[in-house]
Amino acid sequence: MNISIIDGLAGLAGDYDLFIFDLWGVVHDGVAVYPGAADCLRRLRGHGARVVLLSNAPRPSVSVSGHLEELGVAPSLYDWLLTSGEATASAIAARQPQPAYFHLGPERNRPTLDACGGREVSIAAAELILCTGLFDDEADRAEDYREILQGAAARDLPMICANPDLVVMRGEQMIPCAGAVAAFYEELGGRVQRFGKPFPDIFERLFAASPDIPKSRTVMVGDGLPTDIQGARRAGIDAVWVAGGIHADDLGLGPDGHLLQDKVHATAKAAGEWPRAILPWLRW
């Protein structure tokens, strides 16, 4: 199979009615919106496509929407935004009785705790661990939490991971995410439940909200092979891969946006994924 190298989405716009976009590494880098990204969303909506943003951000959708607007992505550029944090909070809030949990993650993710309900307690009193990231994701690594996680695993405390991503781009820096902590916890013998991409449940929520659009007319646009692209395959939809995210170094992407077919195929093959096409950055 051949992964087509394309310059923008214009040539594919007529093939789909529902476009699902990842955020970090596709629409923005956590600091600024990528050039051409907002224009691409605007043009797709102008062509009558439904635009959905699907993010593994460990915060409620309304919180992420506010951040997007600050970056310059207005709500008028998309039809719906769904986050793994939203899915996580909904699942915990639905539990009866409400659980007592230990929060492992930065203070900025407190809106997720507010949406979860339940009680935030010490690790000694917890019934589960709610992981939204690292306490300080610019300084800490998952291995720094070995002692507390070993103790939790020994007590068979389940972990709920609100962001399956291992890493994310923040500006020019690669930042570890909750998924890295969850993977380390499993190495220590802990049990983990993850919400978000690549797991089918979050895609099914999107499909249920657009029952008039068949999967054959739906595409996922993302930068992460193990999350966005794998998630699309597991959900039974096409995928378009954005090179300028977490795999940019593997792909040898330079400032001119040039991509080499052999590096594209080698990187995809190593991950066991085969998207329909790849483009350097999100643009029309």
Q: How far is CA 25 from CA 31, 58, 118, 121, in A?
A: 11, 16, 33, 34
Q: Does pLDDT of 264 surpass 90?
A: yes
Q: What is the pLDDT of residue 80?
A: 96
Give the pLDDT confidence score for residue 172 in this predicted structure: 77
- Which percentage of the chain shows pLDDT scores above 70? 100
pLDDT tens-digit map of 107-159: 999 999 999 998 999 999 999 999 999 999 999 999 999 999 999 999 999 99
Domains of the chain: 4-85+198-223+233-261+270-279 (3.40.50.1000), 95-194 (3.40.50.1000)
pLDDT for the residue 23 = 97
Beta strands in the chain (DSSP E): 4-5, 18-21, 50-55, 80-83, 100-104, 119-120, 128-131, 158-161, 167-170, 173-176, 191-194, 218-222, 238-242, 277-279
Residue position matching structure tokens 């492992």: 104
pLDDT tens digits for 58-102? 999 999 999 999 999 999 999 999 999 999 999 999 999 999 999
Q: At 191, phi and psi to the nearest 5?
A: -100, 135
- pLDDT tens digits, 145-203: 999 999 999 999 999 999 999 998 787 788 999 999 999 999 999 999 999 999 999 99
Region 247-273: what's the mean pLDDT? 95
Output the pLDDT for position 168: 85
- Cβ neighbours for 10, distance < 8 A, ≥ 6 positions apart: 43, 284
Q: How confident is the model at residue 266 (pLDDT cuts 50, 70, 90)?
A: very high
The total of other beta-carbon atoms located within 10 Å of residue 125's CB is: 11
Contact 129, 98 (CB under 8 A): no
Instruction: Look at residue 169 in the predicted model and tell me its pLDDT.
Output: 75
Classified as helix, coil or strand, 237 is coil
Nearest to 122 by CA among 107, 137, 96, 104: 104
